[in-house]
Amino acid sequence: MAQGAVEYAKELSNGKGIPIVLHLDHGDTFELCKNCIDCGFSSVMIDGSHHSYEENVALTRKVVEYAHQFDVTVEGELGVLAGVEDDVKAEQHTYTQPEEVQDFVAKTGVDSLAISIGTSHGAYKFKPGQNPKIRLDILQEIEKRIPGFPIVLHGSSSVPQDIVKIINQHGGKLKDAIGIGEDQLREAARSAVCKINIDSDGRLAMTAAIRKVFAEKPEEFDPRKYLGPARDALKELYKHKNINVLGSAGHAYDK
Ligand SMILES: [Zn+2]
């Protein structure tokens, strides 16, 4: 599967004139990371955050030692995010402890670090009535200890309420789906945060577009007629994120 992903990514990036990375998200074993590196991925994440601190350090170090021989960069994780992503599930946040980051980065040699400051995987990040804020104070503490070191945020969808509304108006049942405000992400993006993972918003945008076609044209059965609009909606969404939230537009460069 990893090999297929590499071929597909190469094909897609061919002749586009922009640098493209192929990154493994939430690799949970050394073997999986090694397999992806051997197949040609440009970066991998080793998520050892569910292990003890010492085991996380040892596992991450092992992946870094292997990856760096091939010029592949490695993202590690400290602290546990709440939420569900594929088969990664945690009930509660364990915030990253700023006291640990310096030691972790030094001992493992990672190139970037995913931290837990209140973002979470999925579309239900906060309960109704809860203060939907991430802990930018912890981010600042971490930055003070490892100035300029690339920080990563996972689970950073904003769950746009206009999109949720379209889904629910067309037969969907997403109750109390709440995300991270785009203003908070903009603030994080201005700091040492260099990558912000946004997935649920893309899922929501595609679902809304497909549900709309199904509700408005129940006679439609050509996948091109509903997957096309879904793809357009996805493109629009990420264009908006890139330009207005992440401030990444126009920043692509080849090394
Ligand atoms: Zn993630």
- Asked if residue 185 lies in contact with residue 166, where contact means CB atoms within 8 angstroms, the answer is no
Question: Is 103 in contact with 117 (CB distance < 8 Å)?
Answer: no
User: Which range (75-84, 101-110, 214-223) has the least confidence?
Assistant: 75-84
Give 155 Cα–ligand 1 centroid separation in angstroms: 6
DSSP string, 106-174: HHH--SEEEE-SS--BSSB-S-TTS-----HHHHHHHHHHSTT--EEE-S-----HHHHHHHHHTT---
Cβ neighbourhood burial of 158 (10 Å; 0-12, 13-18, 19+): buried
Q: How far is the CA of 218 from the centre of ligand 1 (A)?
A: 36
Report the relative pairing of strands 73-78 and 112-115 from DSSP bridges.
parallel
Å from CA of 200 to ligand 1 middle: 11
Q: What is the rounded distance in angstroms from the CA atom of residue 32 to the CA atom of residue 237?
A: 31
Catalytic residue among 25, 28, 38, 199: 25
| Least confidently predicted of 90-94, 101-105, 149-153 | 90-94
- Active-site residue, 25 included: yes
Residues 124-183 pLDDT 10s: 988 888 888 999 999 999 999 999 999 999 999 999 999 999 999 999 999 999 999 999
| pTM for the structure as a whole | 0.91
CA distance 103 to 69: 22
User: What's residue 13's pLDDT?
Assistant: 82
45 C-alpha vs ligand 1 centroid, how far in Å? 9
Calculate the CA 168 to chain-centre distance: 25
Largest CA distance in the chain: 60
d(CA 26, CA 86): 10
Mean pLDDT of 176-198: 94
| Distance in Å, CA 86 to ligand 1 centroid | 9
| CA 207 / ligand 1 centre spacing (Å) | 20
Q: Measure the CA–CA gap between 12 and 47, rounded to whole angstroms.
A: 27
